[in-house]
């Protein structure tokens, strides 16, 4: 079966995913596209002979031309499209964040649990990166002893003028929260944000930030976001255990941006998603619960940025649906 994918949001990452699906991946085709700016969607469709342009995301999701939905629009629009895809019984891959508020994520979880079927996968692509997978295997081998601290540096060369103070947490550190949960196999339970001396190249942005995040077992995750670092896109990680440490292997030279750093991870995440749909399996990648957990940490982080206090992260009970498919 060739999976017919409809894409909602043909901006930067939407077109990048379209190119990988049509250029380097197998088993899928782009059958539909839409964008809030229809002229952009039409332009993208010119290179996609099989794709129909839809006026809205809702119309695209409802179309018989679409087997599965790829949501790559702006974060605040994700909830509406993910809920519509669940209602239509169609698998949906949603770029991070799953949704921008914890309540919106809860509504998605409620809809998926009611469907009693995993239909949603969230775009936390770091889980598919070879270096992160090696680091996880090393932690899980027990060679380091119990993990005590995980250092996670997330450095962007620059950000657009539309990037706000909170985005260092909700748009950037959200990846670090997810990867720390995945590497350590634990939920995050509290966060404290500490702003550093501002980078004078940051146009008044509160940048860099340090975040001290606590896990259920009492281990610490130390996240650094620096989004005006200029020299490149530098992603670092180090796990400190009771009797050893392990470092996230980096590329030979610092990449220019997130696309260059994570291209193989994006390829693997989407290929595995396509393969699961083609075989009728539930997606095995990051779930709605993972998207929710990361968003709740972000909410607490934004509160801490405002108050400089330690803010607890309260998740509530995890539905059984999400116990059966953690990769």
- Asked if residue 72 binds ligand NAD (CB under 6 A), the reply is yes
Q: Does 171 bind ligand NAD (CB under 6 A)?
A: yes
- Counts of helices then strands in the chain (DSSP H, E): 10, 13
**Binding segment (CB under 6 A) for ligand ISE, from list 43-51, 168-176, 200-208, 213-221:** 168-176
36's CB contacts (< 8 A; 6+ apart) are 9, 73
Q: Within 255-284, which residues bind ligand NAD (CB under 6 A)?
A: 258
**316 backbone dihedrals φ, ψ, rounded to 5°:** 85, -175
What's the CA gap between 212 and 192, in Å, rounded? 5
- # residues near ligand NAD by CB under 6 A: 24
Say whether residue 96 binds ligand NAD (CB under 6 A).
Answer: yes
Query: Shortest distance, CB of residue 150 to ligand ISE, whole angstroms?
Result: 18
Contact 180, 207 (CB under 8 A): no
- Provide the H-helix boundaries in the chain: 12-23, 38-45, 57-62, 78-87, 102-115, 130-141, 167, 174-184, 258-278, 288-307
Contacts (Cβ under 8 Å, ≥6 apart) of 235: 153, 154, 155, 248, 250, 261
Minimum distance, C-beta of residue 45 to ligand NAD, in the bound complex (Å): 13
What minimum distance in Å lies between the beta carbon of 315 and ligand NAD?
22
Burial 212-221 (b: 16+ CB within 10 A, else e): bbbbeeebeb
Minimal distance in Å, beta carbon 87 to ligand NAD? 17
57: contact with ligand NAD by CB under 6 A: yes
**Whose Cβ is closer to ligand NAD: residue 54's or residue 150's?**
54
Interacting positions 252-291 with ligand ISE (CB under 6 A): 258
Residue 12 Cβ vs ligand ISE, minimum distance, rounded to whole Å: 9
- Asked if 178 touches ligand NAD (CB under 6 A), the answer is no
The contact set with ligand ISE (CB under 6 A) reads: 156, 171-172, 175, 258
Binding residues for ligand NAD, rule: CB under 6 A, are 8-14, 34-37, 40, 57, 72-75, 77, 95-96, 123, 125, 171, 258
């Amino acid at each position: 079966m060739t999976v017919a994918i409809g894409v909602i949001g043909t901006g930067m990452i939407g077109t990048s995913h379209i190119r990988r699906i049509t250029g380097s991946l197998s088993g899928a085709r782009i059958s539909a596209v839409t964008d809030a700016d229809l002229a952009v969607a039409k332009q993208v469709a010119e290179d996609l002979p099989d794709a129909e342009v839809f006026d809205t995301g809702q119309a695209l999701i409802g179309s018989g031309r679409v087997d599965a939905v790829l949501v790559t629009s702006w974060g605040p629009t994700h909830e509406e499209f993910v809920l519509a895809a669940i209602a239509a019984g169609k698998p949906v891959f949603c770029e991070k964040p799953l949704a921008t508020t914890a309540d919106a994520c809860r509504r998605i979880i409620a809809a998926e649990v009611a469907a009693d079927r995993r239909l949603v996968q969230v775009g936390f692509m770091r889980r598919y990166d070879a270096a992160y997978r090696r680091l996880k295997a090393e932690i899980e081998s027990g060679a380091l002893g119990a993990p005590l601290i995980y250092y996670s540096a997330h450095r962007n060369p620059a950000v657009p003028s539309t990037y706000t103070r909170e985005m260092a947490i909700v748009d950037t550190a959200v990846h670090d929260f997810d990867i720390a949960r995945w590497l350590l196999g634990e939920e995050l339970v509290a966060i404290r944000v500490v702003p550093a001396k501002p980078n004078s190249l940051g146009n008044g942005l509160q940048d860099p930030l340090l975040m001290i995040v606590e896990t259920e077992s009492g281990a610490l995750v130390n996240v650094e976001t620096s989004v005006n670092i200029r020299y490149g896109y530098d992603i670092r990680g180090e796990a400190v255990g009771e009797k050893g440490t392990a470092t996230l292997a980096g590329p030979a030279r610092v990449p220019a941006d997130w696309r260059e750093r994570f291209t193989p991870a994006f390829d693997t995440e989407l290929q595995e998603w396509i393969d699961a749909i083609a075989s009728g399996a539930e997606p095995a990648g990051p779930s709605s619960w993972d998207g929710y957990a990361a968003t709740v940490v972000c909410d607490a982080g934004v509160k801490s940025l405002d108050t400089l206090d330690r803010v607890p992260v309260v998740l509530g009970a995890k539905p059984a649906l999400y116990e059966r498919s953690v990769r």
